Amino acid sequence: MPDTFTCDRCGRVFESRQLKEVMYEEGRERIRKEFCPRCLDEVMNRSASVRGIAGERKRAAVHLDPGSGTASHHESFGTRGSG
C-alpha cells in the first residue's frame, strides 16, 4: 500500500504524492496543514495573496494570507468543510 495522508480540510485519504503543504498565520502562530489538491485550490481562490515558500515535508509549499473581509476570513483554512 502506498504512503498516504489525510487532508486536514476535507478528511479524505490520498496518496502522499498528492500532498500539498499550506502555511498561514493565526495571530502570531504559524500553522502548517496538509491539503489535497482540490482543497488547496479552494483556499487559494479565497485568499488575498498566495506565495511560494519552502516546505517541511515537500520541496515547495504555499503561504496563504486570508486578508480582511474575504470569505476565508470567516473559516479557518484547516476546518473541514461540509463537502
Question: What's the pLDDT tens digit per position in 14-63?
Answer: 999 999 999 999 899 999 999 999 999 999 998 889 999 999 988 999 99
Grid coordinates in use for 47? Answer: 485568499
Written as nine digits, the cell of 18 is 498528492
Question: What cell was used for 9?
Answer: 480540510
Rg (CA), the chain: 12
Contact (CB, 8 A) for 44 and 50: yes
User: Model pTM?
Assistant: 0.74
